[in-house]
Structure 1
Amino acid sequence: MNQKVISCYEDFVNALLEAGFSMGGGNSEGIFSLIDWNWNEQPSYETPVKWHTGDPETDPWEWRMRVLDERDDIGYGKFFFKKSGYITREWIPYFLAARRGDMTFEEAYEDGLASNYAKRIYSVVAEYEILPLHAIKELAGFGKEEKSAFDRALTELQMKMYLTMCGKKQKVSSNGEEYGWSSTVFCTTERYWGEEIFKESGKIEKADAIRKITEQVYKLNQEAEQKKIVKFING
């Protein structure tokens, strides 16, 4: 895909909908990213887009939450190589078919395909439907000594497409006052995308999903390595 002129949030969304998926920032894995981390040095055209300015129109860091807050056709989370990325509604059925098929989390856990840490996290999110990060830790009983295990399990659940980010929420004190940094909010993939998506993915064979995504990767990046593409698709 030819490099798109991206000068604002709307340009980014339009380019993403055309591409179908993208790494969140940086393309160190050699697949595809619409906006690189060193974007300020990369574009071959003039653009006001810059990281970490706080401007919702021109800061890619702000776009992560904007797509979750304002749209229902784009997902964002740790989907690729245990790193953040975007997937559009058009392509979610293919990634679901490739990674989990019609297997529920409970079935995956029973088959030994999910960790006990992941089960603790998934159970509380499924029960409460939508939960901010700090509340998940508290309700699932994770202590400070389990921080690494918690982080790994949360990434595992996103990579296997059982949980996904769905926005952010401010912490609230016992007095009802908001404080501190905003906390990322999570929900089940089913809740975020809805039943129709899973009906669509259920009709797609895993091999067909892999072939379809592979073809799109090569359209976006003809130099992508086959080994990396396999890892990109399978998680």
Structure 2
Amino acid sequence: METINGEWIMRGLRWDDPKRICSCGELTALIKEIGFLPLFSGEVEGFSAEEHVSPKYWWSGSREHDPWKWREMIAGEHEVAYGKFFGGRAGFISAEWLPYFANYRRGGYDFDARYEDGLANHREKLIMDRLVDRDEDGEAVFDNKDILSTELKKLCGFGKGGEKNFPGITAGLMMQTYLVTAEFRRRRNKKGGEYGMAVSVLTPPEAIWGYEHVTSAYGESPETSWERIFERVRSLFPQAGDSEIISVIGKKP
């Protein structure tokens, strides 16, 4: 996606291109095949969902054709993770590759340990404490709280006269893989009717895929996990330069 004269111009394939991704299921299959995929185009040519679909139906609301709608559907199916994983921009990570991203992005830290070592701030802790329970020994217990992000913002004290930059803080937690988007849902009024645009539900990935799976790459160094990710992109997109790949996946720890 690029901006020309203030207008978004979407990249993509012709409607009749046989290589075009035609459905939500096909996009999920592509993400699993590659392992991880930004939603929108960036510095590495071909390395995005945008470049594999037609630009014709973006933001049309069609479940059959709209890639923006597909990302809502994919997030709720939990076959792959969805969140702001690539330079603060949206994208997908397969369950297979999620542990390597978690190890690299977290530096081997669970959130509690990160906070205790002074590497996380109090606004991040406000959010994580709302989404993670504790057992009688004080250990983290992960369960999908099913809280709309609009409600989570209020519960954590963000907003007028309170804490600032809820979108930036949650984006940072997603970049570190402490949070993912579990699903999208529309808000409901007092009569139970839905209204407005769909809103994200944020949760720790451990609440979906389990602590043991998400942290299963902690046994290797964060540098090794980064190298796996880097080499995966380089093998699939050999035309990309090292700096272009790093601009998408992030720097080596």
After TM superposition, the score normalised by the length of structure 2 is: 0.78
Structure 1 unaligned segments of length 5 or more: list them: 41-48
User: 1:57 maps to which residue?
Assistant: 64
Q: What secondary structure sits across from 2:131 in the alignment?
A: helix
User: 1:192 maps to which residue?
Assistant: 208
Q: Distance in 2 between matches of 1:122 and 1:75?
A: 18
4+ aligned runs moved over 4 Å, structure 1: 28-31, 145-148
2:150 alignment partner, one of 121, 131, 134:
134
Q: Is the 8 A contact 2:84 2:90 kept in 1?
A: yes
CA displacement at 1:78 relative to structure 2: 0.3
Q: Distance in 1 between matches of 2:24 and 2:86?
A: 22
Q: Is the 8 A contact 2:99 2:216 kept in 1?
A: yes
Flag the 1:52–1:147 CA change in 2: closer, same or farther, 3 A.
Answer: farther
Q: Is the 8 A contact 1:94 1:204 kept in 2?
A: no
CA displacement at 1:13 relative to structure 2: 1.8
User: 2:98 maps to which residue?
Assistant: 92
Q: What secondary structure sits across from 2:157 in the alignment?
A: coil
Q: Is the 8 A contact 1:171 1:183 kept in 2?
A: yes
Aligned residue pairs, count: 224
Q: Distance in 1 between matches of 2:206 and 2:51?
A: 30
User: 2:181 maps to which residue?
Assistant: 165
Counterparts in 2 of 1:60-71, with a 5 A limit? 60-70=67-77
For the pair 1:151 / 2:151, whether they are aligned, the reply is no
Once the two structures are superposed, residues 172-228 of structure 1 have per-residue CA deviations (whole angstroms, 9 ceiling, x without a partner) of: 233433332221101112112213313522233322212211111112322333234
Flag the 1:160–1:225 CA change in 2: closer, same or farther, 3 A.
Answer: same
RMSD of aligned C-alpha atoms?
Answer: 2.6
CA displacement at 1:146 relative to structure 2: 6.0
Letter aligned with residue 104 of structure 1: D
After TM superposition, the score normalised by the length of structure 1 is: 0.83
Normalized per residue, the structure richer in helix is: 1
Structure 2 unaligned segments of length 5 or more: list them: 1-17, 134-143
Q: Distance in 1 between matches of 2:116 and 2:130?
A: 18
